[in-house]
Amino acid sequence: MQYFVLQNVGFEHINHEDFVENHTTPIAKKLFSDNDDKTAILVLDGTYIFIQKSSDYKFQRQSYNLHKHRPLVKPMVVVGTDWYTLSVLGPYLSNTKNNDAGITRHIVSSNELLAIRQ
């Protein structure tokens, strides 16, 4: 945690200018920015991790995914347009409220997605 995570994962391990310059593709800049070389473009990608069935009944119900027919948790991965991993948020439970849109809404409303340090 002390040596790897703090230096390689999270919003504070890279500054804004380095992220924009090195991890934003030219096509993403052309499509999503107004000719501004200072705009950071992020991709939020929800994925899932299968877990074992829990002996805790409440957690078992919250982690069971009706679509996959298995218990799982959902981390939200924040990457650059070149798939450089910036941060991983979560994990979130797999109940019906936690689809990708619901997780993104929670991240934005609770201000978990902080701006990259300038």
10: left (phi over 0), alpha (psi -120 to 50) or beta: left
What residues contact residue 11 under an 8 Å CB cut-off, 6+ apart? 86, 87, 114, 115, 116, 117
pLDDT above 70 as % of the chain:
90
The whole-number pLDDT of residue 37 equals 76
- pLDDT digit string (tens) for 21-34? 899 898 998 898 88
- pLDDT digit string (tens) for 87-105? 888 899 987 778 888 888 8
Structure-token match 């929670």, residue found:
106
pTM: 0.77
